[in-house]
Every structure is written in C-alpha cells, then in structure tokens.
Structure 1
Amino acid sequence: MVRLYNNLELPEQWPPKYEEKTLDKPLEVPYLKEKQDIVNIEIGRQLFVDDFLIEESNLSREFHQPKVCEKPIFEPKTPLEMNGGYYPCACPFNDGIFYDDEDNKFKMWYHAGWFNGVGYAESEDGLNWKRLKELYPERESESVLPHEFGTIRDGAAVWIDYHATNRNERYKMFVFLRKFDFEIKYYHEKPKHAHDDPDSIPPEEKGVLFQSANGIDWEECGTVGHCGDNTGFYYNPFTNKWTFSLRTFSSLDRRIRTRGYYETDHFIKGTKWTEDDIVFWTRTDIYDRPDKDMGYYTQLYDVSATPYESLMLGVFSVFMGPPNDISGKKGTPKINDLKLAYSRDGFHWHRPSYENFISSSRKEGSWNYGYAHPVNGLCLVVEDEIYFYFSCFSGVSPKLGSHKYAGGNLGLAKLRRDGFVSLSDKGNGGELLTTKLQFDGNHLFVNVACEAGSVCAEILDEHSNVIEGYSKADCIPVTGDSTKVQIKWKNKNLEALKNKIIKIRFYLDNARIYSFWIAEGEEGHSKGFMAAGGPGFHEGRDVSKTEK
C-alpha cells in the first residue's frame, strides 16, 4: 500500500487496470466516491475544484475563464519557421515552455516549420522572445536538434528535471520521429500515411529520448516502446514518477481515440514498455458535446498534465472534427478545444466543468482558427496570474493559400492565480466546513475576492467543536481582493494547534474564496508545486530560499 502526500491510499494494483464498459458515461473518481477521513494539507494551496476538502457547504461553485490575448505572441518569421512558404509554423507541438530559476529566464522549445526542427527561444517577461540565433549568432542552425537525412519530427515534449543528479540530464526531451530512405524537405513530399493510402510503405517510426545540460545542446539517450505520434510525458512530483500519455484506441470501438497511461521511476531505463504495460486511462464522454455545426463524435486527442499547488492539473485536448481527409480537402485546420481536469491521485481525472477553457476560434483567416494544443508544462505562475500558453493554426499558407497544417502561432491566456474555481455566497452570506485536516504551519492564508464584503474563519477540533480563541468572534475579518492574505485571530495563531487534527469553517459575506493554505512563515509560501515554474519560485515550488 502506498500513501500519498494528501493521505490518499493507493490500491495494490497501481496503476489500476479496468475494462471499458461504455463509450459515453463519465469515468468514476474513486477518492470522491469514498472520501478520505483526514486530508493532509502540508503541501500547496488547497483548491475547491471538487468536494475533497469539504464536509458541509451552502456556497455556490463558479468556474472561471481566462482572458485570451487577441493576437499571437510568437509567430513564424525565420527561414526555418516559414518553411518555404508552404506550412509556416512557430509554436510548441507540444514541446514546452518553462521558467528556469537558475538563470531567471522563460525558455521555450517549439515546432519550427511544419515537421522540421525543434526551435528554441528565451524571454525575460514571457511575452517578448529571442530566438536561438539571436541569442547565439554563431550557431549554424535555427534548430537545437541537428537534421538527420530522411528524418522528420512530429510531436515532442520537454521537461526540466530539477532533481537530476547528473547535470547532463537536467533537461529531458521526447521526440516522435519518422525516418525515410530519401530526403524530405516539405510536408507534401512525405508519402501518404497508411490511413490515407493503404498501399503506402510506412517509414521507420520511433519515439526518441534526448537529454541536455543546457536545453540547447542535446544528446540522444534512448528510445521508448511502441507509441504513436501524439505521445507526451510529464513528471508527477507527488508520486515521483515519469508519466507517458499515449494515444490509444477504444477496445469497444477502434475508431475512437482514447489515452493510455504508463509510469516509470526512471526516464531512460524504464521506458521500454510493451503493449501490455499500457493501461486504459481516460476518454471523452457524453458531456463532451459535438460541435453544433460539424456534428462529429468528439474524441480525446491528447491529455497533458502538470503539478499545480496540491494537485495535478490536466488539459484535455478534445477533437471536434473534421477527419483528416475532409480537413485536407477544405484546406482548414482540424478543430481541437482545450478543457480542464483535476486529479488528486495522479490517475483519475475529475471534470467538474465541460466548458471549453481555450477554444479554437473557427473563424476563417484568424490566427487561432483551429488545432489548439497545450504546451508541455501547461502553465506558469507570474505574480498574481497564471500564464497558459497554447498553440493554434490559422491554416494560412503563403504558397498554397490554405492548408490544415499551416500557420502555427503561439497564443497566451491569463487567469487569476488559483482562479479555476471559486466558492461564492452570491451576496447572501454563507459558509463552508472543511473535512478533518492534518497540517504543518502557523499561519492561515486565503485567496479571496471580497471588495464589498468579508471573509472570516474559525478553527474547530476533529469533533466539530470551536476551539477557544479561534472563534468567528475572535477572527479579524479579511476584506479586499487578494490572491494571498492572512486570516488572523485577536490573540492566537495556529502554532498552538500543531500536531492536532482540525477543521476550518469559513464564513463568507458577499465574497468569493479560491483557495486556502497554512504556511510556516508570514511570507505565506505554500510549498506547492508551480506547474512550469515562474519568477520568484525555486525549483518549481513556492518555497523560501531557506526551504529550497
């Protein structure tokens, strides 16, 4: 039996193996069906994306949308990216964007020219980028991977490994490669794929692993088991596992895309999986409604994930259509929309809202017409905001007029920190009582919006009795709008309650609450994991320099 950071106990069979029984019902989330008696909240801000932390509440759950920048923040302009005017592309696919706190830079790996190179860029602010040859004019290529005869890239994924014992393994990369016995410069020179032409001769296809000390100079370090072109990976720090997200097909209908799951302790030595090692993971369901104009059955194109504070944040890329052949004939990108999911055990995904988080615009000629993809790492925390980078394709080709794989651009969406979900009293006053909590720290912090109201808290023992000195009457009300504000009592802090099991009752008066956490110091560091990092964090965590 394995006990996770939050007190969840994993079953002996892990990852779980279960049969697909339907194509349309939402998949169960066991830890919400049979809730944990005591939740450990020592790591990270505690978000209200589900009822995992809630014993009682009369508050309303609200889901929030990011603000999407109107224009792309990165688009094709160099010779490699312009791809001879055929299929311009300068965006991650899924590649990666991370903040490296060793040299305080935003770093991006991206698809430079459709099926061409792996580009690299750096930024001071996450908005304005310098490409590889701007940074290092002496370099011969715009790509960080040298071109190999007859070889073209497809999807890729990058991760910064903060705990690599060997400096040369700090940056990790996966790339799906196709190798032909003749040179291919542009996508239209590639032979038809087997699903388009059954008589075509398939190339050698393989998933290749690379490692690097600086993210620029890479060496090949191995290959993985059999996989498809839409493979990705990420690191789960809660379980200390490298996890691969693999394209699979439903056992009930082989035409339907699903996702397979594989985890390993070692990024290089543990990736020679077999088909039997891949377990069914997740899929779309009946609440992933078809596009009202296209009407195609929705499918799960991809699942990407990252640690955010105290849970795993997932982005489901939901394929809306049209199929490849129809998209190719129309010369327009396929349509993917991006939706959010959350996991507290690293495997089962809770999807409290099926609303699009980031949508393809479907507007002809727009930079974000379709084929939306998340970026590996998913998001970064920049002060009081979360930066969600995403790739979209316009379909605009200078030479062809239009093409489904032309016009790859990078977009940015911004969301309040922890702002996925809030609980609100709707102006009527309300409260919530947490489940039993195990904690380590002295100071209670909240992320709240109550400009015209207030938030108070009281501390209860495990039997729901208010502890003397921590009542609502003893609490100093919090007002205003802040992503980090401390709740205090007149004569007490939480130090006296260390090693005790407690509950917290929050009282809202015309307010919203997004998260809470108990910090060791008055700076309010949550010890949580910060997705792909951000300025001011250390090794991807919200810790002080002494906690690093």
Structure 2
Amino acid sequence: GYATSKDGLRWVKPKLDVEPGTNIVLRTSRDSGTVWIDPSPRDPGERFKMALYKGNFALYRSPDGIHWTKAGDGAKTGDRSTFFYNPFLERWVFSIRSGSRLGRSRHYWETSDFFAFADTPEVKKQTVVWVASDSADPPRDDLKAKPQLYNLDCAGYESVLLGLFAIWRGDYRGASTGKAKELLDLGRPKQNSVCVGFSRDGFHWDRPDRRPFMPTSEKMGDWNWGNVQSTVPCCLVMGDELWFYVSGRAGKSFPNTQHLDSGASTGLAKLRRDGFASMDAGAEPGTLTTRPVRFNGKHLFVNLDAPEGELRVAVLDAEGRPIAPFDREHCRPVRGNSTRQAVTWDGAKDLSAVAGKPVRFRFHLTRSSLYAFWVTPDPAGASYGYVAGGGPAFRGPIDVPSGTAR
C-alpha cells in the first residue's frame, strides 16, 4: 500500500488508479521487502527500486512509487534479505541473509547495476561472507540463546555508513521450563532488538556499544514487546532530530490474536541529530585533540550542548603546536544548546589560512557535551555530508545550502 505524510506523523492513504478506490500499488505475496529512491537513476522509470523476498528476490522498478513493473527475478536468498545504496562507492549493496557456524549472518554483493542481481554462477561467485553477531553481543538472561545477526540495514549519514543491526537473542518457541516457558504461554514474540554500528569503507564495522539502540519493551501488551526491526533507509533528518521508523510486535497480547507474531505495528524513535555519542566534560575542564586532518572548507561548526558551560577550540599544527590566531585564548566561547554552532576566533575571518594543511583541533570543554564537528565552505553550516533518507529541508541526499539542488 501507498501512504503520504506532510509531517511524518499523520498519514494519508490516497485512492489510486492501480486498484481503483484503494491505496494498493502492488498485489503480490511476499515475506519482506525493501524500497529505495535512487538519487541518480539511469532511467526516470527506475527512480524507485524495490526487492521483494519470496524464496528469491523479485526486482521491481517505478517512476513514482505507485506504478510498478517487474524487472526480473533476482538471486535466491534467505528471508529478511535487504539492499541499500552506498553513496561513497556509488554502488548498490545486497545485504543477504545466510547461515554459518555463527548462525544467522550476512553475505555481501555489490553492483553498479541494481537489476544485475540475478541467480547466476557469476553472482554466486562474487557474493562474499560479510558480518555476523559475535561474543560481544550479550544474550538474554531468560533465553540464554547465542545472539545472531537477523538483519542489517545501512545508509550514508554524514561521512560514514550507518548500520542498524537487528540482533536475534532467542525465540520462546520450544521453551519447556522456567521464565521462558511462562513467556511462551503468554505469547511473547521472538527477541530481535536493533543495535547501531558505523563503517568508513562500507564493509568493516565499528560497534562500540552493544546495548540495544532500539530495544524491545519488557512490558506485556506494549506494541514492541518483541521482534523489533529497522526500516530502510535507517532514518530521516527532521530539523534537529533523526527520526527512526521501527517495527515491533505485541504477540498474543495484541487483542483478539493467538499467534506469537501477531500485533505488528510501526513506531517512531527520535534522536538528537548526530546524537549517537558525545564527549562530555563536567565542572572539571576536559580536552579532546583530533588526529591530523585536512579540509577544503573554511568555517568550523560544532553540535554542542552547553547551557551552563562552554567550548573553545585551538587549531594546532601536525606536531601539536598552536597556530596563531587560532589558539584557545583567541577563540570566542561557544555556549548554549544547538546542533549547529559556529566557532570563530578574534583576529581571523575564517579558517582559510589553514585550509588544505594537516592540522589538529583541540576542543576545550567545561560542563558541556560535544556531539560532532565539521568544516564547511558554507557560512550557514551546511555539512555537505549525506543525510540518510533525507528530510523536508533537503532536495537530495546531501546537506547543502538552502536552495541548492544536489
């Protein structure tokens, strides 16, 4: 079905011409599916791309997300396989469910031609082992099952590939004793929760925090009592927030149902923009010094929460020596809570004097939290980074100055 929204909260199901009087755009069976808007389609009729899993991937194309044409059958995969576009590589990547000694895991296949994902010996040969859950993923106390990677969705966000890892931590089916049997009798769904990871190259992952980023609820009757999973393309950038749409299931606790996978709903999780992590300082000042970096912009911006504190920045050369006038003493203190604040120095209009040179930034913080920093050619602070699924302020996949098409 097809629905639209002006605010991302209230949705309208229009009456379309595919099946007159309904919002149905494609009547077909499927276990799961992925839809992606191509930022630069080779053909306007392929702006929307879709893969539906039903034993293998069925590949579709559409000019408007409403009128779909089947483009062919893709390779055979496991259920809950997905795909995404890696903007850094300018390649389509298929995140393929597979099995290994680690249980559910993912294989990887990339291509410049989305519709080339066919059931051929060449595709099978090019598909490689990618990623799985590991010993750092904690099991649940009630199930004690070894965690497995149920799904991985990805999107370009700023300068990294953002990954949402659906980690399976067990299923109550088959439980015969203890707390797990009690929850089986109550009809609790399988325990998938979503964790977060980051990648610089699109293949190798950094997952510093293994706690669920979007967890299941422990309260019977809640919409996300079990089987929480992500959607593509991971999140939207809505002003100062990131919005994550996520599915969950209430199981048998959903009214008038008798199945553990019943009661599916869509929820919304919100996060401060760039709010995945922060460097924090209290009353005792703290410092953060970067590795040497080069940049072509000339305006430094920070995402900072400092309602009762402040931040100052010094620019150092590659050996760690302050570069005048970009030292701490000449930096104007940055205060307040904003996802986009400019950093300036007395005696310099901007950072043009050090652009293109290897420098370090040293951040001096007091009673503040630093979430992100970036250097940009835009005096208003557009980052020129990727914005995952986009948002109402953007005309394309990149954060560029207002009015710029990109």
Going from structure 1 to structure 2, the CA distance change for 1:517 and 1:398 (only over 3 Å counts) comes to closer
Distance in 2 (alpha carbons) for counterparts of 1:461 and 1:303: 40
| 1:389 matched to 2:236 | no
Q: Aligned Cα RMSD in Å?
A: 2.1
Q: Kindly state the Cα deviation for residue 520 of structure 1 after the two structures are TM-superposed.
A: 0.7
Distance in 1 (alpha carbons) for counterparts of 2:174 and 2:17: 41
| 1:314 matched to 2:163 | yes
Amino acid of the structure 1 residue aligned with 2:105: T
1:206-225 to structure 2, matched below 5 A, reads: 206-225=56-75
The residue aligned with 2:366 is 509
Q: Kindly state the Cα deviation for residue 137 of structure 1 after the two structures are TM-superposed.
A: 10
Structure 1: which 4+ aligned runs deviate by more than 6 Å? 135-138, 327-330
The residue aligned with 1:371 is 227
The residue aligned with 1:8 is none
Distance in 2 (alpha carbons) for counterparts of 1:329 and 1:271: 43
Moved more, 465-474 or 395-404: 395-404
Deviations 1:288-308 (A, max 9, x none): 111111222211111111111
Distance in 1 (alpha carbons) for counterparts of 2:204 and 2:141: 29
Going from structure 1 to structure 2, the CA distance change for 1:399 and 1:332 (only over 3 Å counts) comes to same
Q: Check conservation: 2:18, 2:24, Cα contact below 8 A.
A: no
Between the two proteins, the alignment pairs up a number of residues equal to 395
Of 375, 378, 390, the residue aligned with 1:521 is: 378
The residue aligned with 1:355 is 211
Q: Check conservation: 1:226, 1:275, Cα contact below 8 A.
A: no
Going from structure 1 to structure 2, the CA distance change for 1:366 and 1:163 (only over 3 Å counts) comes to same
Q: Kindly state the Cα deviation for residue 144 of structure 1 after the two structures are TM-superposed.
A: 1.3
Going from structure 1 to structure 2, the CA distance change for 1:398 and 1:448 (only over 3 Å counts) comes to closer
The residue aligned with 1:289 is 138
1:23-422 to structure 2, matched below 5 A, reads: 119-133=1-15, 139-147=20-28, 152-177=29-54, 205-250=55-100, 252=101, 256-272=103-119, 274-322=123-171, 331-396=187-252, 401-422=257-278
Q: Kindly state the Cα deviation for residue 398 of structure 1 after the two structures are TM-superposed.
A: 7.8
Amino acid of the structure 2 residue aligned with 1:221: A
TM-score (norm 1): 0.69
Amino acid of the structure 2 residue aligned with 1:546: T
TM-score (norm 2): 0.92
Deviations 1:344-378 (A, max 9, x none): 11111111101111111143222111111101111
Distance in 1 (alpha carbons) for counterparts of 2:35 and 2:19: 24
* Structure 2 portions without partners, runs of 5+: 176-182
Moved more, 208-217 or 427-436: 427-436
Distance in 2 (alpha carbons) for counterparts of 1:425 and 1:366: 36
Distance in 1 (alpha carbons) for counterparts of 2:323 and 2:95: 46
Amino acid of the structure 2 residue aligned with 1:269: A
Secondary structure at 1:153's aligned position in 2? coil
Q: Check conservation: 2:172, 2:189, Cα contact below 8 A.
A: no
Going from structure 1 to structure 2, the CA distance change for 1:347 and 1:137 (only over 3 Å counts) comes to closer
Q: Kindly state the Cα deviation for residue 233 of structure 1 after the two structures are TM-superposed.
A: 0.3
Distance in 1 (alpha carbons) for counterparts of 2:67 and 2:51: 14
Q: State the percentage of identical aligned residues.
A: 37
* Structure 1 portions without partners, runs of 5+: 1-118, 178-204
Q: Kindly state the Cα deviation for residue 248 of structure 1 after the two structures are TM-superposed.
A: 1.0
Of 433, 437, 441, the residue aligned with 2:297 is: 441
Q: Check conservation: 1:132, 1:142, Cα contact below 8 A.
A: yes
Q: Check conservation: 2:33, 2:50, Cα contact below 8 A.
A: yes
Moved more, 368-377 or 400-409: 400-409
The residue aligned with 1:114 is none
Moved more, 226-235 or 495-504: 495-504
Amino acid of the structure 1 residue aligned with 2:72: G
Deviations 1:100-153 (A, max 9, x none): xxxxxxxxxxxxxxxxxxx221100000001243x7797244421134xxxx21
Distance in 1 (alpha carbons) for counterparts of 2:405 and 2:31: 40
Distance in 2 (alpha carbons) for counterparts of 1:434 and 1:124: 40
Amino acid of the structure 2 residue aligned with 1:298: P
